[in-house]
């Protein structure tokens, strides 16, 4: 069973479904089977900067109810980049240094960091500069982390967005409207593409494929011509115009503009057609509540595998999911292979096969 | 089994869950048991204004799959007030007259009109002026029709709003945020009140109870003081300030303002406290998809009872739901007893008992 | 705010959705608003028989997460009838006496008892004989408690049974089968009747209406004749034959028989027709997991109202739900008006209107 | 766009979620993009044996609503093995011959066969002997088809079984019981293993891992010793005893025995421990209703890819899902690599890491 260890775990970046299930799995395996100590670090790396470091002792008892629960009992923050902000107490000390100091002060043998693309890159740099034994676990509703089929949180987000489309279908048809659903995915359109196919959308716009508004309006008109007097459009929170510009809420819209990309698109469609449009912004709801069964499986498997990697002394690695099996990859490899939607992906072909307009 | 009849049915106003289940029940009873003819009138009263009137023959076969389906296969419109708009063909003929003419041209013996408070009032006036034998069925996600415990669509809407709160809880707690959910209900706060209690909200703001922002912020602070670093706020799309003014998207906000009441409140909270806020506007999703079992029961019972009323020659009445039984009431009585949230209602007391802040 | 009190709460009989939400509401109101002490008694009346009585101190903190959670954190038992069993320690002392002694030993001012028809009758007798200030709260998935439109747990059970029917429809149609779903309800057929209508069943058999197998088979055959090669049957766990005998699993079936009423009916149908049948017994799943929003509302309102009754010194009463408002009724009245399905009930008429076969 | 084709599609074996979504995708791509004819063959191969063959013309219009719908509009049968039964008309003609004849009589250029392991093997033999251009699509809730990460129907089945476990947790804990859930999977335990992990089971028994009842009872007792007075057990409909015998309902239990493996296990547990047990048999409910988003994606992608394979003249192949991409494999390869649970699979390790008892 190997030597006794003391490990930490933190959750970083936006919350999503499955984080708590990872925590539970890590604790059940590390404490229940290996008899190690597990410290939960509060609010991502912020907890390691504070003095004393802010932690909670995790036990099978206080984590047993976490399997289905969304969010993270450890707390998280989007402002955790230690290379970009001052210390929590306002001083100008080197935050990255302080994080490593917190880790060593806690006498940790290893750290499990759950994060997306950006968080994993930061954690890796911290680990390398500060002598931290790091294992990464990929989470992001956007599913853009490389080297893994899925990250935690994606399946639940797709389920919620699909369910929203299922609901909008009926009201769209009843009122002869074009319903636009704006979902998350600033850099990668996986949620929109997956939910759009699963939810029977007629138009899917994502940042990876530049769109012409004329194509969108033609699709809507074609449907009208066949007596289908409504259309469902799903759109990522960033889209790409035919000139190759990325349009998002913050970069393009003046203060006087209402809303984000969904609203922008509604105005374009109204301008170029006689369709009546309505916009729904799914927002924070897609971060989940009860985790989907697949996210629970993924999270449980990641948690157990991360502990196994530590028990065998393998660090600087990320656990990944491929074909319903766990593999380990170097964190560097995962980061280097950021995954946007590729025009050759199966789902892009599936969308085209179904007659869905992708805007191009 | 009485004499043969020919009846029409139309759905009016915003769509909601359960409309199709009413249509199915009417047809199953009227055709299956009484052997009558049932015509479905398209797009509310618009279908009666067109020449020839726009209808579809309804049969048990073409309505059998409608039990669970949201929306309405007949179509509907929010622009159906014949006393306020020109004819569909642009002419200035008296629309109310044309509607009655359409009814008589179709040789209908009776008309089942499914609508909310406003629609039922209009339909009744049309019926009285035009010699239409009308039976009303109450539908509205706002549940503000008088004389009935529930209208069709309300239960499904509350379920969806509650589910959204369930999801927001986790992300609110993970990020130490105040999450604001804006739901429908311009004149009556039933959705917010019901979903707020069912979904564990800490603050519920509705148009019937005027709020002070200081009370809202005090509640948020009290929770923070007890270590509960997040709060859930649910708010109707209209709220009432302490000076008694009704604040809604259209009436109060200049064009340069982002969003509706949710956004307005977020700005107020940010101004009066240090809480980080996020707004979600539930929008059209709450009109439903799959109907809740209760809405299916209600809709099926209303449909059967409406046919029975016609078979016995009782008109100018609305079927209503009281204590899981159907009763009939004069439409005039239902309209006269518009039901907003009453401060003496059980649910208001329940909310206060649970320690929920209602803003007053 | 009145004088300080010390109250107990217990859950009795089979578990269901909403019990925990009552506990939460009682504690939030009694502790949060009145500053009373609330003791949770373990395992129904068994906790009061043990020495010392088995209780847990309930606080807003340890009950805050209970709103959505099914079951009861206090535990319950179906073997709690103190007039029928020996003491937990095996002695023959008078259990009813010991329960009252436990209550007084705990120095309770009042007891909130959550139970069904049977439990409330027992609790009332205990209260009267032992000087216990009792407030009753009705719970039962069977919805057979009188004087209240709904008891806690019923709405969730109907939702689950309806969802099961929704699922069985597709597999029935694909395989041209008669699918039989057996649901709970030994004495009252409310679950079968409500879920059967909401879930589009073609046959509903309940203990209150005696059935002829010939009628059931005729309905199946009529559907086949119209090209509808499948049927959905929902049946209570007890049914009544045309001779007026009640058939249930325990009373009628020898040991060599497989299963309960569902299986019995499948054999009858196979014997009298050429239909291929399959049986599903829903079982404990219908006791719920996540409570439905309506059960949460009901539970929260009951909990708050029970505390208010105690604060004003009204005892021997049950809180009830009528038209979405709370009323109080004497427990005796609720017990005396046990509510089975009445042939004049709206839902019976609705079922007949929809062409559903009720077996008679 | 290539030459015009006329293709058939059939669904074979037990129904599941996603079949209709495949049909829709095939038609949208083949008719909508390639302008081919698509014939839906009724009741698996039975439709090809009848004279004239029983088919329905499929169009984008009559398949558009199929995306979310469970089951199959084409019908299916479990008695479709042409090598084992007489002809539908009772004669002894060679059924396999007649199937090929039906195919050629319809002048089909290719046939898309959706089936599990067994159906695909039969279809392949028919294709080779009868000159049928076959493309296979894997479907089975058991997920035991080789060479594909998932088959259609599996994800929905796991979701439903997981949801059932979520519900049983509460009632188990409230009543201090051992709840046993029996799920499908006669030859492969994937549903039990996946749902068991996702649903927080404490014991998972599957046919691939032989169990000792002593181990199961020890796990239950260990939990009791820690104050966790309930346990959740999930079990496949076939299990393997320590002597290596497979125990299923039909092979092992005499007529006097109640029920299947779940009941068998309940009796064993009661015999070897003092735990109170309850059994739930999930049955046909797990075949699904509304398909999960993942099953809709899978089905849509399979349908489009099958049409593409035909358009490029590739036959005798099965489309498969690997890492969220479509690949094509020889049907022979898929059949040869029947996939049971392998003790080295990630999920077996995950289960052990979580402390779940697998019986060994």
**Is A274 annotated as ligand-binding?**
no
pLDDT tens-digit map of B45-89: 999 999 999 999 999 999 999 999 999 999 998 766 777 667 777
Interatomic CA distance for residues B236 and D237, integer angstroms: 50
Question: Mind telling me how many Å the CA of B255 is from chain C's nearest CA?
Answer: 37
Nearest by CB to B28, from C297, C303, C355: name it: C355
Q: Among all residues of chain D, which has the CA nearest to that of A308?
A: D353
* Structural domains of chain D, with CATH: 6-152+291-322 (3.40.50.450), 155-287+343-353 (3.40.50.460)
B29 annotated to a ligand binding site: no
Beta carbons of B322 and C323 less than 8 Å apart: yes
Closest-CA distance of chain C to residue B89, Å: 39
Q: What does DSSP say about strands C6-11 and C110-115: parallel, antiparallel, or unpaired? A: parallel
Q: How many residues does chain C have?
A: 360
Q: Mind telling me the catalytic residues of D?
A: 142
Say yes or no for a CB contact (<8 Å) between A355 and D297. no
Q: Catalytic residue numbers of B?
A: 142
Of A37, A142, A295, A308, the catalytic one is A142
The minimal CB distance from D167 to the residues C175, C281, C285 is found for C285
Question: Whats the size of chain A, residue-wise?
Answer: 360
Measured in angstroms, the CA of D154 and the nearest CA of chain C are apart by 15
pLDDT (0 to 100) of residue B330: 98
A223 known member of a binding site: no
Query: What confidence tens digit (pLDDT) does each residue in A231-262 have?
Result: 999 999 999 999 988 888 754 444 434 468 99
Which chain C residues have a beta carbon less than 8 Å from that of B350?
25, 297, 300-301, 304-305, 326
A117 annotated to bind ligand: yes
Q: What is the pLDDT of residue A132?
A: 98
Residues of C in contact with B67 (CB under 8 A): 198, 200
Phi/psi for B152 (5° steps) reads: -60, 135
C33: nearest CB among B198, B345, B355: B355
Please list, in sequence order, all residues whose beta carbon lies within 8 angstroms of the beta carbon of residue A274, skipping any fewer than 6 positions away.
none
Judge: B171–A280 Cβ closer than 8 Å, yes or no. Answer: no
The rounded mean pLDDT for chain D is 93
Q: Are the Cβ atoms of B278 and A259 closer than 8 angstroms?
A: no
pLDDT of residue C254: 45
Average pLDDT, chain B: 93
Residue A113: which H helix or E strand, with range?
Answer: strand A110-115
A141 marked as part of a ligand binding site: yes
Residue A14 annotated as binding site:
yes
Q: Structure tokens of D218? A: 């020890």
Q: Which chain C residues contact residue B322 at CB under 8 A?
A: 323
Residue of A24, A163, A165, A346 best to disrupt the D interface, most CBs of D under 10 A = A346
Name residue D183's beta-bridge partners.
D236
Give the 3-state secondary structure of chain D.
CCCCCEEEEEECCCCCCCHHHHHHHHHHHHHHHCCCEEEEECCCCHHHHCCCCCEEECCHHHHHHHCCCCCCCCCCCCCCCCCCCCCCCCCCCCHHHHHHHHHHHCCCCEEEEEECHHHHHHHHHHHHHHCCCEEEEEECCCCCCCCCCCCECHHHHHHHHHHHHHHHHHHHHHHCCEEEEEECCCCCCHHHHHHHHHCCCCEEECCCCCECHHHHHHHHHHHHHCCCCCEEEEEECEEEECCCCEEEHHHHCCCCCCCCHHHHHHHHHHHHCCCCEEEEECHHHHHCCCCCHHHHHHHHHHHHHHHHHHHCCCCCEEEEEECCEEEEEEHHHHHHCCCCCCCCCHHHHHHHHCCCECCC
Burial label, C229 (beta-carbon count in 10 A; 0-12, 13-18, 19+): middle
Residue D78: per-residue pLDDT = 75
Contact D356, D196 (CB under 8 A): yes
Q: Which of C15, C37, C142, C295 is the catalytic position? A: C142
| CB–CB contact A76 B169 (8 Å) | no
- Has B117 been labeled as part of a binding site? yes
Chains that touch C (3 or more CB pairs under 8 A): B, D
Instruction: Place D259 in a pLDDT band, splitting at 50, 70 and 90.
Output: low
Q: What is the pLDDT of residue A80?
A: 61
A80, closest residue in chain B (CA to CA): B175
> What residues in A contact D354, CB-CB < 8 Å?
25, 28-29, 32, 300, 304
Q: Are B193 and B351 in contact (CB under 8 A)?
A: yes
Q: Tell me whether residue C345 is one of the annotated catalytic residues.
A: no
- Is C141 flagged in the annotation as binding? yes
CB contact under 8 A, A354 and D292: no
Inter-chain contact D305–A200, Cβ cutoff 8 Å?
no
- Put simply, the answer to whether A322 touches D324 (Cβ < 8 Å) is no
Q: For residue A1, what pLDDT is reported?
A: 55
Q: Residue C139 has what DSSP assignment? A: B
Q: For residue B307, which of A3, A209, C352 has the smallest C-alpha distance? A: C352
**What average pLDDT score do residues B281-309 get?**
95
Q: Chains touching chain B at 3 or more Cβ pairs under 8 angstroms? A: A, C
Q: Residue B352: its chain C contacts at CB < 8 A?
A: 33
The residue of chain B nearest to residue C148, with distances taken between CA atoms, is B323
Quick one: how far is CA D255 from the chain centroid? 28
ipTM > 0.90 for the complex: yes
The reply to whether residue C171 touches residue D284, judged by beta carbons under 8 angstroms, is: yes
8 Å CB contact of D171 and C279? no
| Both tokens assigned to C305 | 């109202």
The closest alpha carbon to B208, from B116, B117, B346, B343, belongs to B343
Please give the backbone phi and psi of residue B355, each rounded to the nearest 5 degrees, phi first.
Answer: 85, 15
pLDDT level of residue B94 (50, 70, 90 thresholds) = confident
- The helix/strand count (H/E) of chain A reads as 13, 13
Question: Pick from C11, C256, C285: which is nearest to D168 by CB?
Answer: C285
Tell me the shortest Cα–Cα distance from C105 to chain B, in angstroms: 29
Give, for all 360 residues of chain C, the pLDDT tens digit. Answer: 578 999 999 999 999 999 999 999 999 999 999 999 999 999 999 999 999 999 999 999 999 999 999 999 999 987 667 776 677 777 777 888 999 999 999 999 999 999 999 999 999 999 999 999 999 999 999 999 999 999 999 999 999 999 999 999 999 999 999 999 999 998 999 999 999 999 999 999 999 999 999 999 999 999 999 999 999 999 999 999 999 888 887 544 444 344 689 999 999 999 999 999 999 999 999 998 899 999 999 999 999 999 999 999 999 999 999 999 999 999 999 999 999 999 999 999 999 999 999 999
Say if the Cβ atoms of C289 and D75 lie within 8 Å.
no
In terms of Cα–Cα distance, which of D227, D189, D211, D199 is closest to D265? D211
Question: Chain B residue with minimal CA distance to A171?
Answer: B71
Please report residues of C whose CB lies closer than 8 A to that of D259.
258-259
Considering the entire predicted model, what is its pTM?
0.96
- Above 80 in pLDDT, residue D1? no
For residue range A141-190, list pLDDT tens digits in order: 999 999 999 999 999 999 999 999 999 999 999 999 999 999 999 899 99
B75·A176 Cβ contact <8 A: yes
List CB contacts (< 8 A) between B176 and chain A.
Answer: 75
């Amino acid at each position: 069973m190997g030597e006794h260890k003391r490990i930490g775990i933190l959750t970083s970046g936006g919350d999503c479904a499955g984080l708590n299930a990872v925590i539970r799995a890590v604790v059940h395996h590390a404490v229940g089977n290996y008899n190690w100590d597990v410290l939960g670090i509060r609010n991502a790396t912020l907890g390691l900067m504070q003095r004393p470091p802010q932690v909670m002792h995790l036990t099978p008892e206080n984590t047993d109810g976490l399997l289905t629960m969304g969010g993270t009992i450890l707390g998280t923050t989007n402002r955790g980049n230690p290379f970009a902000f001052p210390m929590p107490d306002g001083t100008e000390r080197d935050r990255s240094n302080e994080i490593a100091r917190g880790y060593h002060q806690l006498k940790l043998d290893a750290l499990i960091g759950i994060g997306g693309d950006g968080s994993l890159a930061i954690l890796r740099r911290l680990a390398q500069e500060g002598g931290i034994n790091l294992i990464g676990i990929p989470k992001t509703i956007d599913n853009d982390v490389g080297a893994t089929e899925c990250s935690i949180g994606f399946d639940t987000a797709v389920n919620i967005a699909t369910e929203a489309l299922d609901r909008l279908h009926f009201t769209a048809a009843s009122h002869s409207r074009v319903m636009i659903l704006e979902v998350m995915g600033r850099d990668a359109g996986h949620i929109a593409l997956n939910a759009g196919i699963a939810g029977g959308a007629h138009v899917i716009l994502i940042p990876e494929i530049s769109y012409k508004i004329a194509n969108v309006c033609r699709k809507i008109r074609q449907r009208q011509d066949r007596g289908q007097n409504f259309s469902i459009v799903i759109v990522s929170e960033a889209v790409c115009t035919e000139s190759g510009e990325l349009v998002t809420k913050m970069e393009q819209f003046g203060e006087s503009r209402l809303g984000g990309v969904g609203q922008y698109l509604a105005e374009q469609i109204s301008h170029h057609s006689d369709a009546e449009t309505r916009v729904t912004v799914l927002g924070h709801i897609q971060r989940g509540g009860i985790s989907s069964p697949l996210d629970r499986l993924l999270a449980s498997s990641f948690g157990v595998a991360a502990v196994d990697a530590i028990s065998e002394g393998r660090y600087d690695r990320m656990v990944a999911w491929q074909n319903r099996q766990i593999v380990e990859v170097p964190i560097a490899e995962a980061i280097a292979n950021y995954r946007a939607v590729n025009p050759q992906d199966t789902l892009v072909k599936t969308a085209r096969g179904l007659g869905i307009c992708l805007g191009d």
